[in-house]
A and B are shown apart, each in its own frame.
Chain A
Amino acid sequence: DVKVTQSSRYLVKRTGEKVFLECVQDMDHENMFWYRQDPGLGLRLIYFSYDVKMKEKGDIPEGYSVSREKKERFSLILESASTNQTSMYLCASTTTPGRDTGELFFGEGSRLTVL
């Protein structure tokens, strides 16, 4: 069974703390993505990666960074958490465009609360 696994389902952090959200996929996908989901705003793309050590900014990268040292692992980092980063974070992966339908495979999500 193919899988995208996010390290934590629920986290509570304090303002100013450094936060790591980890995502691992076992499908040998080239492309990995971090989205945040907020009510009424859909899913917004934070960062994505199309290869090891390659990363690109999405639509809302401010306050975030990412790391992809291995193909299967894509980490989202909040250097100094703020209350406006309280959200649901979704990791997803997929194949190279054109190889197949290219649907996203999602992790279960990480709900982060920053106090």
Chain B
Amino acid sequence: AQKITQTQPGMFVQEKEAVTLDCTYDTSDPSYGLFWYKQPSSGEMIFLIYQGSYDQQNATEGRYSLNFQKARKSANLVISASQLGDSAMYFCAMREVNTNAGKSTFGDGTTLTVKP
């Protein structure tokens, strides 16, 4: 069974600074996808970034980067130059790729607060 662990229930960061949100995962599958989603207070879930298990390079999307360390089974999200609008709940997720539906397993989430 797949498992995602996010050990930081809440994080604070000063505006314009960088912040790292931790995520470790556990799976016996050789192929999988790793994702980060953002959920603002309005409730909608927003896809941020994806990393495939065979990707050699860390994924980047604008101010978001995923620090993928396969041997350590970690997939930390790095947000550079934090903005007030980054205040939200962040979820790490892993998707199966060798099944019919490819279901996703989520961590418990990290609430990020950006201070002005």
How many interface contacts (CB-CB < 8 Å) are there between A and B? Answer: 71
Residues of A in contact (CB 8 Å), total 32
Interface string of B3-34 (1 = CB under 8 A from A): 01010010000000000000000000000010
CB-CB under 8 A from A109, the residues of chain B are: 43-44
Within residues 95 to 113 of chain A, which ones have a CB less than 8 A from any CB in chain B?
A: 96-98, 101-106, 108-109
List of A residues within 8 angstroms of B37 by Cβ: 104
**Which of the residues A43, A56, A97, A106 comes within 8 Å of B95, measured between beta carbons?**
A97
Residues of B within 8 A of A (CB): 4, 6, 9, 33, 35, 37, 43-45, 47, 50, 52, 91, 93, 95-109
**What are some 30 contacts across the A-B interface (CB < 8 A)?**
A30-B101, A31-B100, A31-B101, A33-B101, A40-B9, A41-B108, A42-B4, A42-B106, A42-B109, A44-B106, A45-B103, A51-B100, A56-B101, A58-B103, A88-B43, A96-B102, A97-B95, A97-B98, A97-B102, A101-B33, A101-B50, A101-B52, A102-B50, A102-B95, A104-B35, A106-B44, A106-B45, A108-B43, A108-B44, A109-B43
